[in-house]
Amino acid sequence: MTKPLKHSLLIILLAGYTAFAAGPFVWVAIMSLRTTSEIMADHFALPTILHWEKFPIAWFNSNYNVYFKNSAMIVLAAVAILTIVGAMAAHCLARYRFRLNRVIYFVLFSTIIFPPQITIISLFQILVQYGLYDTRVGLTLVYVAIQLPLTIYILESFFARIPNDLFDAARIDGYSEWEIFWRVSFPIALPAIATTMILNFILLWNEFLYAVVLITDDANRTLPLGIQRFMGDQLEDVGMIATGLMIAIVPVIIVYAFFSEKLIQGMTAGAVK
Amino acid sequence: MAVVTLDRLTKIYERGHAPAADSVNLEIRHGEFMVLLGPSGCGKTTTLRMIAGLESISSGTLSIDDRIVNGIPAKERDIAMVFQSYALYPHMSVKENLAFGLRRRAVPRDEIERRVAGVAATLGLTPLLDRKPHALSGGQRQRVALGRAIVRDPKVFLFDEPLSNLDAALRVSTRGEISALHRRLGATMIYVTHDQVEAMTMGSRICIMNGGKVVQVGEPLEVYRHPANIFVASFLGNPPMNLMPAVVSDDPGGRALRIGAWSFAVPAERMPPLPPNTNVIFGIRPEKISVAQAGGTHIEAEIVQVEPLGAETIFASRIAGVEKPVFARVGPDVAVKVGERRRLGVDLAAAHVFDADGKALHP
């Protein structure tokens, strides 16, 4: 096969994949600027009039400003706690020899095998007992709990690859274990830490199941629950759902665009030279 | 400058297992360059790490300048260490790497600047100060690692096989740099290596270790010329000393040995008189064997392998009644061919005799 032919085939393949991946997004983006009646008339038509006003309507009249603020507070707090606690736990499990190290590691990691349907009733009960049901703090703690094992798993494997000599050198340079974590381990593991931050942010930003079970008050709802509000039993306001989705998706795109380089670094990082 | 004293220093990692370092007794004097030499797993790195405070001490005492430091953490021992992997912090520039230890010790900022600049100038690192370690060559990284130790101006320098990741040419020049550094600073340095050339060329004294124990301590040439046992004899020198089982014959004097059909008398200054039929091990360095001229002690041998190295030629030969090949190191102009039989001259004035357990016998 000649080189130009190979090249064109590759372009066609990539274009096809891009259309497949980005198509639904573009479709929702277009629908977010059309009204529900326009969409019902023709699902795939381009907008004749751009209904930008739908965004302020969703934001102010449909409480999206509250949902957005709730989502931001809960997810950012959960990601911050996950990052710090997860990195510290991973550093300890990777770095220090102590009894039951591997047992703790496998117990932590094994919890990811339980599907949410199994744990959610007991979680509900626990939150009710501690007065955390239907609170943002409660949902934040649940998010930390469900994502911590995977965070530790990803970070532990990265921390374990940092050569021990670096820690010994820092010890001889006069640093305490606490300082070594913050000044040596943490900065070196930044690509992996950024990876877990993005993964956790995207997963939790879109999280629906725990939120719908553990939050009822409209003032505490997160964005995915807000979108659900447009889905009635008899009628679905498709146009507003699309607008809500666009509001919800923008932070994810911004976070991904901002951190994508770090994400790739984290996924491809080899042993530290 | 400092005196480091190891008194029966022992490290046991797991109960029931052999100690990694077993009752190590050693005194490293003021300004001395002590090389801990031995094969992999001999306990030299464990001993160094105990001195550094990176490994706990199972028993025995470790003192620096008469102060017992067993329970004192690494950061309070005033030592610096250069690691085999360099251990440069990858997220910091060369300058930050050099200053990292000083910053922790609350050295004033302008003093840090001055010391870092001074060390960088000495080691030729000034143009590289803003680079990260991944943008440096192996030799440059090694110099940064050295600089990081020097800038701290510690009492004791520890080196853990610092040259093993360098290529051969760079190793020779860095060897020279470390020796020059030792001369200039006059500091106490402890250097771990498995490379006998490094040990012979750099050390004020060598401490040879095997199986966690100290086997022999002495100046390089003294250890080379008077090995305490067959381990040291065969570890130092390349090719190592030829060792052959021998029996004391019943000739008068008790210094006549028999190896197969070959009989010869060892000079009185090289061995004590022994009763007939005593089993001993006869040792001779390859450079003490020559292709024989007329006269002297000689033996017939068949050449089995020749390695002309340019400056010298090393050959292996088979001697009747000796199981292992006997190596010889001769001048480059000596022509030897594989398969030919030659008379080899043996300089018995340089002979070594060990008892059946491998311990050197002295007259």
Angle between helices A136-159 and A101-110 (to 10 degrees): 130
- Spatial strand order of the sheet with B188-193 comes to B79-82, B156-160, B188-193, B33-37, B205-210, B213-218
**Which pLDDT belongs to residue A265?**
65
Q: Quick one: tokens of A254? A: 């911004």
Look at A168 and B79 and tell me if their CB atoms are within 8 Å: no
Q: Which of A173, A186, A193, A262 to mutate to test the interface with B (most CBs of B within 10 A)?
A: A173
Over residues B64-80, the pLDDT tens digits come to: 998 999 999 998 999 99
Look at A172 and B54 and tell me if their CB atoms are within 8 Å: yes
Q: How far apart are CA B336 and CA B327, in angstroms?
A: 13
Enumerate the residues of chain A whose CB falls inside 8 A of the CB of residue B104. 173-175, 179
Beta bridge partners of B214: B209
Q: How far apart are CA A108 and CA B227, in angstroms?
A: 56
Max CA distance (Å), chain B: 79
Angle between helices A238-268 and A64-95 (to 10 degrees): 20
Instruction: Give me the interface pTM, i.e. the ipTM.
Output: 0.83
Look at A168 and B52 and tell me if their CB atoms are within 8 Å: yes
Residue type for A214, please?
L
Residue type for B324, please?
K
Taking CA atoms, B71 is separated from A96, B131, B237, B308, in Å, by 19, 38, 39, 54
Closest residue of chain B to A186, computed from CA coordinates = B91
Beta bridge partners of B307: B314
Name the CATH superfamily, with its identifier, for domain A62-234. MetI-like (1.10.3720.10)
**Which pLDDT belongs to residue B209?**
96
Taking CA atoms, B70 is separated from A175, B76, B182, B187, B340, in Å, by 19, 11, 26, 22, 61
Instruction: Provide residues of A within 8 Å CB-CB of chain B.
Output: 163, 165-166, 168-175, 179, 184, 187-188, 190, 272-273
Indicate the residue of A163, A172, A179 with minimum beta-carbon distance to B79. Answer: A172
Q: How far apart are CA A99 and CA B177, in angstroms?
A: 44
Enumerate the residues of chain A whose CB falls inside 8 A of the CB of residue B93. none
Enumerate the residues of chain B whose CB falls inside 8 A of the CB of residue A171. 53-54, 73-75
Count other Cβ atoms within 10 Å, centred on residue A239: 22
**DSSP summary character for residue B269:** T
- CA dihedral for A199, A202, A208, A210, sign (positive or negative): positive
Look at B90 and A184 and tell me if their CB atoms are within 8 Å: no
Are B195 and B159 contacting, i.e. CB atoms less than 8 angstroms apart?
A: no
Over residues B297-318, the pLDDT tens digits come to: 778 899 999 999 999 999 999 9
Q: Is A64 exposed, middle or buried (0-12, 13-18, 19+ CB in 10 A)?
A: buried
Size of interface A-B (CB pairs under 8 A): 60
**Which pLDDT belongs to residue B131?**
93
Q: How far apart are CA A104 and CA A96, in angstroms?
A: 13
Torsion angle in degrees (nearest 10) through CA of A79, A83, A84, A88: 150
Look at B89 and A273 and tell me if their CB atoms are within 8 Å: no
Rg (CA), chain A: 23
Residue B145: name the closest of B97, B86, B81, B64 by CA: B86
Q: Which of B77, B83, B140 to mutate to test the interface with A (most CBs of A within 10 A)?
A: B83
Segments in chain B below pLDDT 50:
none
Are B172 and B201 contacting, i.e. CB atoms less than 8 angstroms apart?
A: no
Look at B81 and A175 and tell me if their CB atoms are within 8 Å: no
Distance from CA of A173 to the nearest CA of B (A): 4
Look at B100 and A165 and tell me if their CB atoms are within 8 Å: no
Residue B209: name the closest of B2, B31, B355, B34 by CA: B34
Q: Quick one: tokens of B11? A: 């490290």
Over residues B321-340, the pLDDT tens digits come to: 888 899 999 998 888 899 99
Enumerate the residues of chain A whose CB falls inside 8 A of the CB of residue B64. none
Q: How far apart are CA A264 and CA B310, in angstroms?
A: 52
Q: How far apart are CA B207 and CA B35, in angstroms?
A: 6
DSSP labels, A217-265: SGGG--HHHHHHTTB-SS-B-HHHHHHHHHHHHHHHHHHHHHHHHHHHH
- Exposure string (b/e) for B8-37, b if CB count within 10 Å is 16 or more? ebbbeeeeeeebbbbebebebeebbbbbbb
What is the 3-state secondary structure of A14-60?
Answer: HHHHHHHHHHHHHHHHHHCCCCHHHHHHCCCCCCCCCCCCHHHHHHH
Segments in chain A below pLDDT 50:
269-273
Q: How far apart are CA B267 and CA B68, in angstroms?
A: 48
Look at A170 and B100 and tell me if their CB atoms are within 8 Å: yes
Closest residue of chain A to B151, computed from CA coordinates = A173
Domain ranges in chain A are 62-234
